[in-house]
Structure 1
Amino acid sequence: MDILEDLKWRGAINQQTDEQGLREYLQQHKDLTLYCGTDPTGDSLHIGHLIPFMILKRFQMAGYHPIILIGGATGAIGDPSGRKTERVLQSEEQVRHNEKCLTSQMEKLFGTENFEIVNNASWLSKLTLLDFLRDYGKLFQVNTMLNKDIVASRLATGISYTEFTYQIMQAIDFYYLNKNKNVTLQIGGGDQWGNITGGIDLIHRIEGADHPAFGLTIPLMLKSDGTKFGKSAGGAIWLDPEKTSPYEFYQFWINQDDRDVIKYLKYFTFLSHQEIEDLAISVEKEPWKRLAQRKLAEEVTKFVHGEAGLRDAQFITNALFEGNIMELSVKQIEQGFKNAPYVEISKESKNLVDLLVETGIEKSKRQAREDINNGAIYVNGSRQNDCDFLVDVPNSFEGKFVIIRRGKKKYTLLKTK
């Protein structure tokens, strides 16, 4: 099975400009170079951004040469794709900061061998206005540009000339990489189809209709309930561990619906067809074991955060599930309880009954005593049956936290002021 057939099996192909031509080119050119671009509009990618780069990674693993383009120039302009209004232009300082952060993330995902990162500012910034108009603007028909889905969707609300010319800039990128890096394939999301075909048209106008240049887009990723993939109740799931901790990242994947998990295993992991088909049988016959979800969480967390990040996420997960809170470090508690309810308390020891009522965990002292006597209250993972128990706040997790559990799963984090 060639890589295109594998991508089809994984549901990872939406559109291709010339499927047969690309297949034949791949068979004849084992050194094919391809690229995918991202604009530095933020200082981290989220898992929605990760989708096309998973395809790029598969090509890398198959022996082809991937290039990632970070749009230092196009990012300063703003892609109109998927937007109803103009983007707020970023400062040059912010763009440079974002470029640095994204470069670091990509190097972590792709390594250093058979891989390259380029920045389109290195060539687009050298174009004069006269060069842009004479060498490239003359090759684009306004009526064709207006018919592009991205532009057509904005005509009712308005689009600036700046964002209107974005498609020309991206087309120049493909032409430049084709000429200088021998790039013959561009990959992108479905909303990039117009930009990709614009680049291919430019290459053909300059180099000739038979010059090899191909485009491939990926499908829009939707959950089984029809909502867009990539968000949680707390917002986007980021690749930056400071924005989304490895534990939160792991939990996002392990909590996926049975109806979605096999689709995500095909797309976001490098497991073999047989391994995924075996997990599909498990979902069908023994869903309560959640083997597929666990494997999905393990594979994607390891890919993004490495073995250390996976171990940390699993350690926190197991400690919380088993109630072994005292095994956690302060940093691990911050990860595991980032989105948990919390109450601020003073940094002094307190009677357990008083503490439960003051923090709202219990409605009354009578109820607090009843739950303590019944063994329903845990302090830092240890069950407390003594209503006179004194909670040693100053020595609890470096004086920063006390963790109260009521019943089997209801945790409350107490933070010292």
Structure 2
Amino acid sequence: MSDFSPLEVFDRRESEVRGYIRSFPVVFDRASGSTLVTADGDEYLDFFAGAGVLNYGHNNPLFTKALVEYIEHGGILHGLDMATSAKRAFIEAFEQYVLEPRGYDYKIQFTGPTGANAVEAALKVARQATGRTNVVAFTNGFHGLSLGAVAVTGNKKYRDAAGTTLGDVTRLPFEGYLGDKLDTLDLFEKMLDDTGSGLDLPAAVIVEAIQGEGGINVASPEWLRRLRTITEERGILLILDEIQAGIGRSGSFFAFEESGIVPDLVTVSKSISASGLPMSLVLLRPAVDVWKPGAHTGTFRGNNLAFVTARVALEEYWADDAFMTQVAERSAELRAGLDAIAADYPQLDFTVRGRGLMYGIVSLRDRDLPSRVSAEAFQRGLVIETAGAFEEVLKFLPALTLTSEELQTGLRIVRESLDAVIAGDDSEAEHAVEDHVASHA
């Protein structure tokens, strides 16, 4: 038998920083829709969707066709921030299908291609526009891993990796962090109005309407509306991070839409390109757009291939309500499936939380359970990740285009995996008792 491992070169040459390959240790070769296929021909159902990058599925033929045509035409591939036909068409489509129907008046800043760079830009311009430096962020927030972005990120693992001090940020509790009976914004408002609190008037507040990496924590519309009122009354800029929860993931284009608020800045990335091509942008009110030309650049802020697929996605999926109606149907199925799991395993004391096609299930009895279920599910052909500070949430993030059959298959695998993990735990417990009895015989 050969000792050859298809992952040998990764183990030998790739940095120890690699992460997802450890959870899903196979070589993926191709994909379509919600199906991943390895180099050996094994198929996996994808409930991960590139951590929210592939809301429209893998290799969506609408985007593939548009890309091939654009490349064959000789279209501009790299344009920095110069004007191109592809960028113009995207801006016009974004106006028509996103901004105008919602009554939003935002300027669009094309940043470097990562979500973290969009966050960096939003923080920088907020500080310039207000002349203040401090930013308020929330517990369990995740906003990226470059220095400015990781400073407003909550998780200790990521903050420790920065290797330096991370200042000019005040951390406050997200909704529900102190239990359901306490409104965490009472603390924020009290500290703002008390000159003895030590909280200087911040330049901005940055928040996710639904915390993804932080554990699928959903801010209620009422909480977001109160946050908007607090910031607006005091001249504090409100930044909504829509990098993972946006582009239809929550059941509407933006996750904050349900609250009816209008943020001062919005960071957008991941699925905005629709195809998995890198693209990020910041939406900012015209009064906040105080940049000097070239003050925040990026070599790949002009990814014209991403502009092409982003435009096609807007034209094909956002011209009417049909797509969101389909997402609502799948969302109801997913919620029903997770509620049924919670009801069928009362001994695990499950909590289900989320919205749209962004859900999590967490056991209040065993916070290590989701990681074991994720590993077991992978053995059964399902790619599903975990979230939260302790990886205590099993995170459902499938493509928005998945079929009802694919959704039910995934839920079935999760149940089978859960049963297998429970059976394994029971077996280990029995062996422990037997060993204990034998040692005292």
TM-score (norm 2): 0.26
TM-score (norm 1): 0.27
Computing the radius of gyration from Cα coordinates, the structure with the larger value is 1
